């Protein structure tokens, strides 16, 4: 068993090549092998978002606060709010982040495959981000 105290866990700014805007990540758990769970609490300030990316074993998002957007490639963004859960299947290109005028915090849960949890792609264009979202 391992207990990680809250005050000992760092809050990090992720690499700018993977995110746009102001984003903070706080690790929840990075379970040791053979477990594969990797979970983070992620705060997106208004307008902030991930780049396009995929996860080899899929990803679950659980919204803790605010209003966010999540989109699959070639689809309009979907609005996500407090308490919403999202499942993104393995290897599906997507992005997620805050709505333009409000922050959003979610928990991101994914599993590693051969030590890898994500494949990062290009940044989301303004036209993709501002495309009329579906509620």
Model pLDDT, residue 41? 97
Q: Is 7 helix (H, G, I), strand (E, B) or coil?
A: helix
Query: Structure pTM?
Result: 0.93
59 in Cβ contact with 110 (< 8 Å): yes
Burial 27-52 (b: 16+ CB within 10 A, else e): eeeeeeeeebebbbbbbbebbbbbbb
> Angle at Cα 51 formed by Cα 132 and Cα 104, nearest 5°?
65
**Per-residue pLDDT tens over the stretch 35-78:** 999 999 999 999 999 999 999 999 999 999 999 999 999 999 99
**Per-residue pLDDT tens over the stretch 97-121:** 999 999 999 999 999 999 899 999 9
């Amino acid at each position: 068993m391992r207990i990680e105290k809250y005050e000992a866990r760092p809050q990090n700014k992720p690499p700018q090549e993977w995110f746009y805007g102001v984003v903070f990540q706080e690790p929840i758990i990075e379970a040791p092998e053979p477990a594969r769970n990797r979970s983070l609490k992620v705060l997106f300030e208004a307008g902030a978002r991930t780049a396009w990316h995929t996860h080899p074993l899929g990803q679950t998002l659980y919204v803790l606060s605010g209003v966010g957007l999540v989109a699959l490639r070639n689809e309009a963004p979907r609005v996500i709010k407090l308490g919403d859960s999202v499942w993104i299947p393995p290897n599906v290109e997507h992005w997620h982040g805050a709505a333009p005028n409000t922050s959003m915090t979610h928990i991101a849960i994914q599993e590693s495959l051969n030590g890898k949890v994500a494949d990062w792609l290009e940044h989301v264009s303004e036209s993709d981000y501002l495309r009329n979202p579906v509620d």
